[in-house]
Structure 1
Amino acid sequence: MRSLAFLLLLLSVPLAWSQEVQLKALFGSSAMLEVDGQQRLLKAGQTSPEGVQLQEVASGVAVVRIGGRRQELTLDAPVAASYAEAARAEVRLMADSRGHYSTSAWVNGRRVNMMVDTGATSIAFNYPTARSLGLNLERAQPIRVSTASGIAKAFRLTLDSVTIGGIKLHNVDATVHEGDFPEVTLLGNTFLSRVDIQQQQGVLILRARD
């Protein structure tokens, strides 16, 4: 099994063809992609004959744009997407060895790793992560939350947007816990309750609602 950060995104968009994209290797600011079975070595800013653009390569991540959608690829999670006709955006997450589902998300336009937690009332950040994302806690509502260590201080606020794959939600409630808990940002029910969820053979499927 892959590590906690392993994920597989399958985004469905209303196109009339299917397109498969994989990351094969990274070379400085260039990346070797396999697009529909054809290997393409692209520099940052270049677009393959199939219309896949390599936007940038940074810290072992290749950022590509496919069909107007931005995606991040790593050598651990090299499969970008399979596009086909569909009505709703869809994200597929594979469980790690402990049965956890993780994904990269964009919060107010900034990237953060999250772990799916259906037992969490809301998206939950620790204080250092919230500060790194530039969240404004001065206007947040102070609250008390129950943790495994007892009652702790936290803040409630509303995020402008949360994007996972092709699913983007606006005005999503979240909490920020004082200190370093939770270690990994939790993707809780203030997001999960607004998408359709299905589990199939170890794969968690999130679908945007109409």
Structure 2
Amino acid sequence: MLRLLSIFSLLLALSPLASAQDVRLQAIFGTSAMFEIDGRQRLLKSGKTSPEGVTLVSVTSDVALIAIDGREQKLTLAAPVAASYAQADRAEVRLNPDSRGHYSTTAWVNGRRVNVMVDTGASSIAFNYPTAKSLGLDLARARPMTVTTASGVERAYRLQLASVTIGGITVHNVEATVLGSDFPQVTLLGNSFLSRVDMQQQDGLLLLRARN
């Protein structure tokens, strides 16, 4: 009987935590954060994991970095809803609109972080020149071109990005345009990325889903 109990205890210890279906950031208190996870309130300290498998990796005054099933996502009080982490074949990211109805998030371009705004009217990902330089993009190998903007005709560059990652979604070999000025002020996440994921609006949220 003792041996059976020991085996049972070992199986419990090795059993994986259930994956959370829905994660929402409610408040930040110093090194802790309050979440609603699958309808239950959970107060987590930095480094701690909830019964649903949500780990609070780190927290600042306005950002909570969580991890579920090895995937990380940053939540803010302005954009408190995490991706759906139900076990599925495809990664998902849910974005909240801002006060102007725009969807913004953090992307990793060639492994470097940049804030982006979803723009279905842009044919490709669009950077201004200072942002492109800060990301280390090699414009010497880019194809020169001209584009027409609201301020007139501008010199620009066309190049391929090795990878663009948002949440758990990564797309490789993504076309991008770099304008030779300070426009656009915010990097635009255009159709060279968006056309390679599935998009859906759901209860005011924008749902991005990786394709198989």
TM (norm. structure 1) is 0.79
Q: Is the 8 A contact 1:91 1:166 kept in 2?
A: yes
The counterpart of 1:42, out of the listed 36, 45, 58, is: 45
Q: Which runs of 5+ in 1 are unaligned?
A: 1-14
Q: What is the CA deviation profile of residues 17-62 of structure 1, one whole-angstrom value per residue up to 9, with x for unaligned ones? A: 544333233344443444441423312x333344322222346211
Name the SS for the 1:83 alignment partner: coil
- Tell me the equivalent position of 2:210: 208
Greater CA deviation, 156-165 or 20-29? 20-29
Aligned residue type for 2:199: I
| Aligned CA distance change for structure 1 residues 51 and 122 (closer, same or farther; 3 Å) | same
Matches within 5 A, 1:1-210: 17-36=19-38, 37-43=40-46, 45-58=47-60, 60-200=62-202, 202-210=204-212
In the alignment, is the contact (CA less than 8 A) between 2:84 and 2:92 conserved in 1? no
- The letter for the 2-side match of 1:119 is G
The number of residues matched between the two structures is 195
Distance 1:77 1:65, change over 3 A: same
* 2:170 maps to amino acid: K
Deviations 1:160-209 (A, max 9, x none): 11112221101111111111100111111111111223334543332222
1:203–1:61: structure 2 CA closer, same or farther, 3 Å change rule?
Answer: closer
Please give the alpha-carbon distance, in whole angstroms, between the structure 2 residues aligned to 1:152 and 1:42.
50
Which deviates further from its counterpart, 62-71 or 132-141? 132-141
Report the TM-score when normalising by structure 2. Answer: 0.79
**In 1, Cα distance between the equivalents of 2:83 and 2:124?**
28
Q: Distance in 2 between matches of 1:199 and 1:22?
A: 18
- Between stretches 52-61 and 167-176, larger displacement belongs to 52-61
Amino acid in the other structure paired with 1:40 = L
CA RMSD of aligned residues (A): 2.5
Structure label with greater radius of gyration: 2
